[in-house]
Every structure is written in C-alpha cells, then in structure tokens.
Amino acid sequence: MKKIEDFKNGQLLLFDKPIGWSSFDVVNKIRWSIRKKFKVNNIKVGHAGTLDPLSTGLLVIATGKMTKSIEKFQNQKKTYVGNFIIGSTTPSFDRETEINEQFATNHITKELIVKVSKDFIGEISQYPPIFSAIKNKGKPLYKYARAGKNVKLKSRKITVFNFNITDIRKLNVSFEIECSKGTYVRSLVNDFGKKLNSGAHLTKLRRIKIGDHSIEKAFKIDDFVQLLK
C-alpha cells in the first residue's frame, strides 16, 4: 500500500477510462479518493491527454511532483482502435449528436476504403471538431456549437504514423491508428468520408497505448479505489 508521501512525491498511474466519463471526471475521482483515504486537504493530480466522454481506454494520471513532467507523456505517440460508419455524418463527427446528413455509398468498395486510408499517413492538416474542449476567447468550442454559433476554426498539423484498416463489414469499418499529440480521430474520420465522396462518423474509439504505456497495465477505477481502502 502506498503512503501519502508517495503520492505527494509523485506517482504515475494508468487507468482504463470507462465510457461516459470525462478525463476530468477521472482526475476528480482519483484526487477525492486519495484525499479521503489519507485525510489530506489537497493533492495535485493531472492527466496526460484528454479522452472524449464517449471514448474509452488508457488515461495516464500523475500525482504530486510527477505532474510537473506530465507534458512529456502528452507529447508521446498514441495508439487507438475504433470503428466508423460510412454513409452518414453528425455535427460532432461521432455519436454525441444525431445524424444530420446521409450520403450515397453504392460506389464504395473495400479496395477504395483501403486505398483512401493510405492518404492519411504522414503529416496532414485537420480542423478540430466544433464539438470539442478547445477554447476560443476563453470559452470551449462545444459551448458555441450547442448555442448554434459559428466559430472560424484554424487547421493544425498532426502526424499519422500508422493507419490500418483491420476489418470491413459492409459500411462498418474497424481500424487501428498510431498518431501524434493533438490528433482528433473523429475529425480524421469525417475527412475520410469526404475523401470517399461520401460521409462517415466515428462510432467507437479506445486508446490502447501512450508511448510505452499499455492498456493491459491500467487500473479499473473501482479497483484502484478498493485498493486504497
């Protein structure tokens, strides 16, 4: 069992974020659990790399003095597995919002899907989703989106190191992607649909690696809380 001094001096903890939780929810839960266990007023806790509430998987959490080094982990390569559906789009580029457009898919073949995937390897430009936590004038973009307000977005350079199509079942595509910091996979999926002369939106996303850290070594949140107790 760790002592409070261990958490203050700095611990790196791996968690498997469940669906429906924000990354901030996980940080709050871990901070609250440590404070309750050791009866302390405060303990620094931060995460390296945000996951959307509808995404699951690896979240790197740092405590105490280790939070000063958190940027090092934020800058490491990240690996995800996921699914997207071809033929329809949503305003958020995923399942957070309802389908707003339908597109033709008769021309789409497995060969075309694999061919298009090669166009997304390397350094590319992408626009972040309007439904995101990126701030504009101190306000998260999703708040503008939910209010129906238009915001001029700036593109950003990201790098895709590997993008493999792992399964194709009609219009349901499974993939694995290794990419740089700042990559919005749902934006990439939206662009993928456009490249197919159709549309696409993300239906499932799970982060499985950050640098050398793997999901196999991650705590379930409840297991960590019980371990503290």
Q: Which residues are catalytic?
A: 52
Beta-carbon neighbour count of residue 7 at 10 Å? Answer: 25
Q: Phi and psi of 78, rounded to 5°?
A: -125, 140
Go through 107-120 and write b for each residue having 16 or more CB atoms within 10 A of its CB, e for each that does not: ebeeeebeebbeeb
CB 26 within 8 A of CB 82: no
Q: Give dist(CA 61, CA 15) in Å, integer.
A: 7
CB 84 within 8 A of CB 188: no
